[in-house]
Structure 1
């Protein structure tokens, strides 16, 4: 597995050079992460709290850890001190817990709100109506220790590019609509995290600012 060659090959295909590459290192050994780090990668995506906890002390201090999987409220406290960005905030309950843990350690924790765009029941996230209801909730406006930086979404797992594009377009549309609204000071629509190894080029065409790529860099998970 030539991680350096894989990274170069992926970056060559980027349509938007300013789009952040988050290397999805879940299930991968530390040696692979260190190799990617040596090639200039600083942003790593993990989907299990136990794994991110184990890897974090073993990597250089300037490594930026992205929690990209479904996060349970009772696990937030373990990553609150160091996580760079939580991508998958899929409920108000989880957001309030992140705020609570941030308050305990006096740290403002950056997050993205996960929107359910796929035609799959297995995916998590808010719909557009739920987002609108939440941002008007007094409990939401009272949050003090989270920084909402944008939205995240996962397209349907399908070969149908039109379907994927339609879903990314809907997420971008919601993102742009929210940008026009008067939002609390801790909410800023600047990041749109969409696109993975199989669909990151479509995602970039549709306005993604951040893609999560694992198998195209590290190979398929055994």
Structure 2
């Protein structure tokens, strides 16, 4: 497995050189992460709290850890001290728990709101109406220890590029719509995280600022 060659190949195909590459390292051994780190990668995506906890002390201090999987409220406390960005905030309950854990350690925790854009029932996330309702909620405005950096969405797992593009376009439109609103200071909306190994080129064309790529870098998972 030539991680360096794979990374160079992926980077060559980028439509937007400013788009952040998050290397999805879930289930991968530490030596693979260290090889990617040696090639300049600093952002790593994990989807299990136990795994991110085990790997974090073994990697250099400037590694940026992205929690990209579905996060249960009772697990937030384990990653609150060091997580760089939580991608999948899909409920107000989870957001309140992140805020609570941030308060305990006096740390503002950066998050993305996960929007359900796919036609699959299996994906988590807010729909547009739920996000708009939450943003106007007084309890939401009282949050002090989260920083909402943007939105995240996963397209339907399909070969149909027209459908994928339509879903990404919809997320970008919501992103722009929310940015035009009068929002609390902790809602910054700088990042639009969409696109994975199979659809990151379409995502970049539709305005993604951050893509999550695993198998194209590390090979398929065991």
TM-score range normalised by the length of the shorter chain: over 0.9
Tell me how far 1:77 sits from its aligned partner. 0.1
**SS at 1:118 equivalent:** coil
Partner residue in 1 for 2:44: 44
CA distance in 2, matches of 1:136, 1:86: 22
Matches within 5 A, 1:132-211: 132-211=132-211
Partner residue in 2 for 1:215: 215
CA RMSD of the aligned region, Å? 0.2
Tell me how far 1:189 sits from its aligned partner. 1.1
**SS at 1:134 equivalent:** helix
Provide the aligned length of Structure 1 versus Structure 2: 222
CA distance in 2, matches of 1:126, 1:155: 14
Gaps of 5+ in 1: none
Question: TM-score normalized by structure 1?
Answer: 1.00
Partner residue in 1 for 2:30: 30
Tell me how far 1:149 sits from its aligned partner. 0.4
Question: TM-score normalized by structure 2?
Answer: 1.00
Tell me how far 1:89 sits from its aligned partner. 0.1
CA distance in 2, matches of 1:54, 1:190: 30
Matches within 5 A, 1:97-112: 97-112=97-112
Gaps of 5+ in 2: none
CA distance in 2, matches of 1:156, 1:188: 27
